[in-house]
Chain A
Amino acid sequence: MSNNLTWVVVGPAANIPQQGARTLQTETDRIAIFRTLDDQIFALLDRCPHKQGPLAQGIVHGHFVTCPLHNMVFSLETGEAQGPDDGCAAKVECQVIDGIVRVGLTELQAGLRHAG
């Protein structure tokens, strides 16, 4: 994991529906930001490792999300597929301070490019 994350504010956690998700388009990827029933916020790349399903559109239960395309279940905490399935959804760093969500983007995602 890159240490030089760019932290981007995406607004109040309340803007994300409980037991739901919203997406954030970055320079390179789309990120799915989830809010669980217990009001925790998690983020994964919005791309299921199975067949690229949009995870943000899945059903959120506990700290898991079920992919809308073929029902694989992923941990929001680690990105790991649950049960017999293999695979890992890419986790994205995020934090909530005073109700405001920030996600940590890599330089590429944030669109920053350094010459040399």
Chain B
Amino acid sequence: MNHVTAALRTAKVRLVVIGNGMAGMRTVEEILNRAPDKYDITVFGAEPRVNYNRIMLSPLLSGEKDFDEIVINTPEWYTENNIHLYSGDPVVKIDRDRKVVISKSGTETEYDQLLLATGSDPIIIPVPGHKLDGVVTFRDVDDVDTMLGAAAKGGPAVVIGGGLLGLEAAVGLQSRGMDVTVLHLAGHVMERQLDPSAGYLLAQELERRGITVITEADTAEIVGSEHVTGVRLKDGRMIPADLVVMAVGIRPNGRLAADAGVAVERGIVVDDVMTTSDPAIFAVGECVQHRGQCYGLVAPLFEMAKSLADHMAEIETDGYTGSVTSTKLKVTGVDVFSAGDFSGGGETEEIVFRDAGRGVYKRIVLEDGKIKGAVLYGDTSDGGWYFQLMKDGEDVTELRDTLAFGQAFAGGSAGNPLDAVAALPDDAEICGCNGVCKGSIVAAISEKSLTTLDEVKGHTKASASCGSCSGLVENLLAATLGGDYQAATVKPICTCTDHDHDSVRRLIIAKNLKSMPAVMQELEWKSSDGCHVCRPALNYYLLAAWPGEYVDHGASRFINERVHANIQKDGTYSVIPRMWGGLTNPRELRAIADVADKFEIPTVKVTGGQRIDLLGVKKEDLPAVWADLNAAGMVSGHAYGKSLRTVKSCVGQEWCRFGTQMSMGMAVELEKMTWGSWMPHKFKMAVSGCPRNCAEATIKDFGVVATDGGWDLHVGGNGGIHVRATDLLCKVTTDDEVKEYCGAFIQLYREEARYLERTAPWIERVGMKHVQERVVDDEANRKALFERFMISQKTAQIDPWAERASEGVDAHEFTPLSMVAAE
């Protein structure tokens, strides 16, 4: 046994450091600066090398750096400073009674003071297969070596975890020639540092580089017999992999301390001078918990090191009081910055700035006039400035209006965002689609005395294509014309945006936007997650633009559509099962009666649309009510939705002595074809069997009236506050034509009307001629509309009741929380 007794060598205080990493060695450096002769220092490191800059593992992986370049202290430094380094020899036990540490090789070393700097351990999710060959973490040089070995062979790699480390690993492996997929559990990458908007931009950039990012990806299993071959997700998807990197988080390493009876909670508990519950033992770095906080970045560790060195050198110190942190992603060409608590909370307000053209997103959270946090993407040049203002607790009320433009603007006296445009150089490109720069627009405005956006469009082509630069052009007009300029009066959807409904619809398609964050970023939304006015509209526009592709965003629907029942004034709900064409039978009626009895439903009413409404259902009862109705073969009547409601019918030729066509049959067919379709507003239909029109088809959105020779098709009727009779769309002869015109008309309405605009005001706005041209006169267009309608119906015709009653979809909606424990 190699029994070192430091006391024999020196009369200095014997300091033993466990952990040869960034915090431990920085502390030693700080101590040497302050009191070079006070300590006799021995360092134990588990890794078989000198200490290096762990942050630089990412550049080491990507090949931007060599190991030599990331070494912090060379072997000579240890010798020169008389530090005894035991590398590759971890300490396995601390004996506090005898004040010795015991290493794996059996070395026993006595200490007067002990410093724990053991860092943290990467978390490994214990899914089946996590011990297979080819599964690594990303923490030290050995991990990087394993990854480089795998990368040399090429092939697919999976990174589990889309946080800071995971993304750096992904980019590193990708640049080494592997085919990388990132699996991330949360809804967007780096969710701890970034909000969904910035996360969206980042994921886009990664995809652009060829890295696949799958969010909401829950790993079920790592597959392989000896060596890993793939990763299976809980939803069944299989992603092939020769290498799996787990980068899902870290856990402070307090094992040694805890075993020795030192207080450890999440980390080793320390006070402001980094002293643990044992006065002879200090701790710094990721392994500690200070004022309830554990850190995973170097800046706080360095601050800890300073305070501890002061204390150990017996220099007066305020101690360590905790850190505000900021993070940047170290990926070349990707600018991401986040600092502080950007999530808000308390009495906060937010400033959101988006510049879709440059892919810039900035969000600054203010509280009491001070910056509380910030997220920047794309342009992070002002990150340091915001961070400083935040750390200093500077009051930024005066700067508020220009804060988002950064430090360069903050100095200026005029707090006017127009300055931003005015400051652009003449060759700055304003309209990307048509390549028009500021100079030519300004010249056109002055030379040709242009005063409106349309005129600028006409003369310069700027904003004549996708239109996303029209805001900038308007600012240029305002800046050039000064007080003479009157902005065009488009009515924005709400205060979250300057765009009106029509331009949002157009841009969603023009710019291929397929998610809520994509729309909000690219169209420069002024709030971080919209409001109750724009979100339901956007959700509809996305569904309408990308049927089958866009995933419905439940949180952007009103409660009626979320729970598929009508909320009533007392907070109970009403439920209307579908009765195709208004027909029912004894079995359905019996089931409805039974449900009403069983759930003590107080009111049963026949509606204006010939359906039966069960009123006064408690929310918790909804799934069970639906289950019973489903069991009798009935599905949701969508009576709550901006969707097809009912197709009313008369008894028609089936029974009526006047009837000339089968109106009940037609109503049933139309309802079966159109149910489940989401619309800008509610949509009602009716079919009458002769011109006596007993089904009142001429006050419906789409009305069908039988004639001797065929069918009259009517559109745009409305029985609401402003009663409107229909316009005649056309006359047709066959049943198939009725269906084709019906689908085509609905599709035109769905594609063109603004959200919450019923067919009547829509037709009055665009004119009946417009509708007829597209649906009647242009056969090819009609068929195309009809085809698009039928395609979107394929994914739309799913009974929402069945999903909720039997598959537990949105179960949280229907089960209240309960009190788990009281204190």
Find chain A residues with CB under 8 A from B347 CB. 77-78
Mask of A80-95 contacts with B, CB within 8 angstroms, 1/0: 0000000000000000
Q: Which residue of B lies closest to A25 (CB)?
A: B816
Find chain B residues with CB under 8 A from A53 CB. 571
- Chain A proximity of B748: nearest CB distance (Å): 29
A62 touches B559 (CB 8 A): no
Find chain B residues with CB under 8 A from A68 CB. 558-560, 567
Given contacts A7-B822, A37-B195, contact A59 B556 (CB under 8 A): yes
Does B63 count as interface, using CB distance less than 8 angstroms? Answer: no
Number of interface residues of A (CB under 8 A): 45
A61 touches B343 (CB 8 A): no
Find chain B residues with CB under 8 A from A108 CB. none
A71 touches B812 (CB 8 A): no
Which B731-758 residues sit within 8 Å CB-CB of chain A? none
- Chain A proximity of B187: nearest CB distance (Å): 8
B817 touches A33 (CB 8 A): yes
Q: Which residue of B lies closest to A97 (CB)?
A: B292
Which A75-116 residues sit within 8 Å CB-CB of chain B? 77-78, 102, 110
- How far is B60's CA from A6's CA once the two chains are assembled, in angstroms? 53
Given contacts A17-B812, A57-B559, contact A24 B817 (CB under 8 A): yes
Does B652 count as interface, using CB distance less than 8 angstroms? Answer: no
A54 touches B343 (CB 8 A): no
- How far is B567's CA from A51's CA once the two chains are assembled, in angstroms? 13
- How far is B569's CA from A51's CA once the two chains are assembled, in angstroms? 8
Does A60 count as interface, using CB distance less than 8 angstroms? Answer: yes
Taking a contact as CB atoms closer than 8 A, the residue among A11, A19, A110 that contacts B555 in the complex is: A19
- Chain B proximity of A101: nearest CB distance (Å): 8
Find chain B residues with CB under 8 A from A40 CB. 343-345
Residue of B196, B558, B822 with highest tally of chain A CB at under 10 A? B822
Does A73 count as interface, using CB distance less than 8 angstroms? Answer: yes
Does A29 count as interface, using CB distance less than 8 angstroms? Answer: no
Find chain B residues with CB under 8 A from A23 CB. 816-817
Given contacts A61-B532, A77-B347, contact A10 B817 (CB under 8 A): yes
Of B82-90, B523-531, B574-582, the segment with at least 4 beta carbons within 8 Å of chain A is B523-531
Find chain A residues with CB under 8 A from B819 CB. 8-10, 24, 26
- Chain A proximity of B363: nearest CB distance (Å): 10
B350 touches A39 (CB 8 A): no
Given contacts A8-B822, A59-B535, A63-B348, contact A15 B530 (CB under 8 A): no
Given contacts A59-B555, A66-B531, A69-B569, contact A22 B817 (CB under 8 A): yes
Given contacts A59-B532, A59-B558, contact A10 B344 (CB under 8 A): no
Q: Which residue of B lies closest to A31 (CB)?
A: B817
Find chain A residues with CB under 8 A from B348 CB. 63, 77
Find chain B residues with CB under 8 A from A66 CB. 531-532
A52 touches B812 (CB 8 A): no
Find chain B residues with CB under 8 A from A51 CB. 569
- Chain A proximity of B206: nearest CB distance (Å): 22
- Chain B proximity of A25: nearest CB distance (Å): 6
Number of interface residues of B (CB under 8 A): 42
Find chain B residues with CB under 8 A from A58 CB. 532, 559
Taking a contact as CB atoms closer than 8 A, the residue among A24, A60, A73 that contacts B818 in the complex is: A24
- Chain B proximity of A74: nearest CB distance (Å): 11
- How far is B819's CA from A16's CA once the two chains are assembled, in angstroms? 14
- Chain B proximity of A34: nearest CB distance (Å): 11
Does B59 count as interface, using CB distance less than 8 angstroms? Answer: no
Find chain B residues with CB under 8 A from A39 CB. 343
Q: Which residue of B lies closest to A26 (CB)?
A: B819
Mask of B785-823 contacts with A, CB within 8 angstroms, 1/0: 000000000000000000000000000100111111111
Find chain A residues with CB under 8 A from B558 CB. 59, 68
Find chain B residues with CB under 8 A from A69 CB. 567, 569
B528 touches A62 (CB 8 A): yes
B820 touches A10 (CB 8 A): yes
A37 touches B571 (CB 8 A): no
Given contacts A6-B823, A39-B343, contact A60 B555 (CB under 8 A): yes
Given contacts A9-B822, A40-B344, A40-B345, contact A62 B567 (CB under 8 A): no
Find chain A residues with CB under 8 A from B530 CB. 61
Which B535-560 residues sit within 8 Å CB-CB of chain A? 535-536, 554-560
- Chain A proximity of B651: nearest CB distance (Å): 38
Find chain B residues with CB under 8 A from A63 CB. 344-345, 348
- How far is B562's CA from A64's CA once the two chains are assembled, in angstroms? 18
Does B720 count as interface, using CB distance less than 8 angstroms? Answer: no
- How far is B345's CA from A1's CA once the two chains are assembled, in angstroms? 20
- Chain B proximity of A45: nearest CB distance (Å): 13
Does B333 count as interface, using CB distance less than 8 angstroms? Answer: no
Q: Which residue of B lies closest to A75 (CB)?
A: B347
Does B482 count as interface, using CB distance less than 8 angstroms? Answer: no
Find chain B residues with CB under 8 A from A37 CB. 195-196, 528-529
B528 touches A73 (CB 8 A): no
Given contacts A61-B530, A62-B527, A77-B347, contact A24 B555 (CB under 8 A): no
- How far is B195's CA from A38's CA once the two chains are assembled, in angstroms? 7
A9 touches B821 (CB 8 A): yes
Which B154-190 residues sit within 8 Å CB-CB of chain A? 187
Residue of B187, B195, B528, B563 with highest tally of chain A CB at under 10 A? B528
Given contacts A40-B343, A59-B556, contact A73 B822 (CB under 8 A): no
Find chain A residues with CB under 8 A from B528 CB. 37-38, 62
Does B483 count as interface, using CB distance less than 8 angstroms? Answer: no
- Chain A proximity of B255: nearest CB distance (Å): 20
Find chain A residues with CB under 8 A from B818 CB. 10, 24
- How far is B821's CA from A9's CA once the two chains are assembled, in angstroms? 5
Q: Which residue of A lies closest to B572 (CB)?
A: A54
- Chain B proximity of A17: nearest CB distance (Å): 6
B350 touches A20 (CB 8 A): no
- How far is B347's CA from A73's CA once the two chains are assembled, in angstroms? 16
- How far is B501's CA from A79's CA once the two chains are assembled, in angstroms? 31
Which B243-297 residues sit within 8 Å CB-CB of chain A? none
Which B87-138 residues sit within 8 Å CB-CB of chain A? none
Q: Which residue of B lies closest to A11 (CB)?
A: B820
Mask of B658-697 contacts with A, CB within 8 angstroms, 1/0: 0000000000000000000000000000000000000000
- Point out residues on B near A: beta carbons under 8 Å: 187, 195-196, 342-348, 350, 527-532, 535-536, 554-560, 562-563, 567, 569-571, 812, 815-823
- Which 4 A-B residue pairings sit nearest by Cβ, starting from the closest? A19-B555, A38-B343, A66-B532, A57-B559
27 pairs, A vs B, C-beta closer than 8 Å: A9-B819, A9-B820, A9-B821, A10-B820, A11-B820, A17-B812, A18-B555, A22-B815, A24-B818, A33-B817, A37-B196, A38-B344, A52-B571, A54-B567, A57-B559, A57-B563, A57-B567, A59-B531, A59-B532, A59-B536, A60-B555, A61-B529, A61-B530, A63-B348, A69-B567, A77-B347, A78-B347
Beyond the given pairs A18-B187, A24-B819, A37-B196, 17 more chain A to chain B contacts, judged by CB atoms under 8 angstroms and listed by A's residue number, are A7-B822, A11-B817, A15-B817, A17-B812, A20-B554, A25-B816, A37-B195, A38-B528, A54-B571, A57-B559, A59-B535, A59-B536, A59-B558, A61-B530, A62-B350, A62-B528, A68-B558
